[in-house]
Structure 1
Amino acid sequence: MTQAYVKSEINNQIATIEFFHPAHNSLPSDILAKLTTTITEIGQNEEVLVIILKSGGDRTFCAGASFKELINIQDEETGEQFFSGFANVINAMRKCPKFIIGRVQGKVVGGGVGLASAMDYCMATNYAAIKLSELNIGIGPFVVGPAVERKLGVSGMSQIAIDANSFYEAEWARQKGLYAQVFESTEALDEAVEEFAQNLTNYNPEAVKHMKQMFWRGTEDWDELLMERAKISGKLVLGEFTKEKLKRFK
């Protein structure tokens, strides 16, 4: 079994950050923490003008929260801490002064939809269907909700959050504004991401920084807001309903 990792490399002023977990690129606390640190550090690196965020493997971009970890949460504090991992990654992406391009090669579930929504520009394959499955286990997409709502609008977000059993096609996500472009194959996606990133390196970094602030205007309270949401999820994950549901995943 391949080990989970977060790795990054810098080429021609483009930083590529890649995360991987053998369980469909799910995100346990240590991966979330590493992602947060990596995004923050690379954001401060003056050699870097653009960031590409991607995951390893072919089939799934990100399966969201780690069920193994969810099952083991026994108290509110641990629950809040786990969900704050997603809050930290989204806030790191929001505050990063560089544009973050998402390269989404496959299915996106739960917290993964939050990750894709926090990209500044997201490109995907037609296999990159999305699903907010949290309601299925008795919690909701509370932490990722603000990021998803910012991209899909309240209508789009509530649609996929309420219909927690369904995958919504990549084309639906494109029409709603989550994906800028959708490609037939991973090869075509990679080519487009690379070309787009190269183009972005020609822009004035100061202008980019100010544009990024402009795009994220109105999210200044997210440090507090997302932590409040993490508390809600942390409480719900301890409820009888969720405990029963999670037993199926043991």
Structure 2
Amino acid sequence: MITTGSISTVIENNVATITFYHPASNSFPSKLLQQLTDELHLLSKNTNIALIILKSEGASTFCAGASFEELLAIKTQEKGTQFFSGFANVINAMRTCPKLIIGRIHGKAVGGGVGLAAACDYCFAMDSSDIRLSEIAVGIGPFVIEPAVSRKIGKTAFTEMTLNPMEWKSAQWALENKLFTEVFSTSDSLDKRLLAFVSELSAYNPLALEAIKKVLWEGTETWDKLLNERAAISGALVLSTATKSALQKFKK
């Protein structure tokens, strides 16, 4: 049985903080992806909030991406496409959400975790928040998250990450390549700056903030179709013998 993890939201003043958790390094099974998508849609309609903070629990890994346990359980292309559509739906929910989304990337991010960071509008991270796109090493590829990641770091840097799937890129590299916006040496300094940032930003005209959000995501209007097409590519590849074997090795 796949442990589902949790999604929780706390609203304080006019800022909503979404926290996700899974015991396997904050990875995402499909049910948790759906819960996060639903929560983003719900908060999108809440006129009492101006900003959203996205974070995860723990002190080590921010997000390990897709649930290997669930990936190994996929038996049909339909189920594979459905699973990877979960990441597509989350990214599109973040993209179309009228609230600016601020990421708190407290630790390492792998695969879909990098995609989540890229879909945030502004990212605070720790200097230990290394990143990696390991998908090609397990026989698939970062197809669904590519548009969001490339939008932030550019196709050249995305290629560098994708074709070196076993190489961790440092938080400084992520900062220099614009995935992270600010990087800190301690969690205390990160949270102090994050609090000051959201307190100031959330006091501005909410209509102006929503208008800025639209401008920031101009040119992504085709992503509903595009990301689902990418999910179908991964959904087919995950059935291959090579991918199943590689997933087993990574899981161990």
Shorter-chain TM-score tier? over 0.9
Q: Which amino acid aligns with 1:88?
A: N
Deviation for aligned residue 1:71: 0.3
Choose 195-204 or 85-94, whichever is displaced more: 195-204
CA distance in 2, matches of 1:51, 1:247: 36
Deviation for aligned residue 1:139: 0.3
Deviation for aligned residue 1:246: 2.0
Per-residue deviation, residues 187-219 of structure 1 (Å, max 9, x unmatched)? 111111111111111111111111111110110
Per-residue deviation, residues 82-109 of structure 1 (Å, max 9, x unmatched)? 0000000000000010110000000000
Partner of 2:19: 18
Partner of 1:203: 204
Q: Which amino acid aligns with 1:145?
A: E
CA RMSD of aligned residues (A): 1.1
Choose 77-86 or 36-45, whichever is displaced more: 36-45
Alignment of 1:1-250 (within 5 A): 4-248=5-249, 249=251
Q: Which amino acid aligns with 1:213?
A: K
Q: Which amino acid aligns with 1:183?
A: F
CA distance in 2, matches of 1:186, 1:27: 24
Three-state SS of the structure 2 residue aligned to 1:26 is coil
Choose 8-17 or 206-215, whichever is displaced more: 206-215
Question: TM-score of the superposition, structure 2-length normalised?
Answer: 0.97
Choose 139-148 or 192-201, whichever is displaced more: 192-201
Per-residue deviation, residues 10-36 of structure 1 (Å, max 9, x unmatched)? 001010000000000001101100100
Choose 101-110 or 239-248, whichever is displaced more: 239-248
8 Å Cα contact 2:55-2:103 kept in structure 1: yes
Q: Which amino acid aligns with 2:145?
A: V
CA distance in 1, matches of 2:218, 2:179: 18
CA distance in 1, matches of 2:173, 2:167: 12
Per-residue deviation, residues 30-52 of structure 1 (Å, max 9, x unmatched)? 11001001111112101101110
Three-state SS of the structure 2 residue aligned to 1:27 is coil
Three-state SS of the structure 1 residue aligned to 2:167 is coil
CA distance in 2, matches of 1:244, 1:17: 35
Question: How many residues are aligned here?
Answer: 249
Three-state SS of the structure 2 residue aligned to 1:8 is strand
Deviation for aligned residue 1:243: 1.6
CA distance in 1, matches of 2:85, 2:156: 25
Per-residue deviation, residues 96-144 of structure 1 (Å, max 9, x unmatched)? 1011000000000000000000000001000100000001101000000
CA distance in 2, matches of 1:56, 1:22: 10
Three-state SS of the structure 1 residue aligned to 2:165 is coil
Alignment gaps of 5+ in structure 1: none
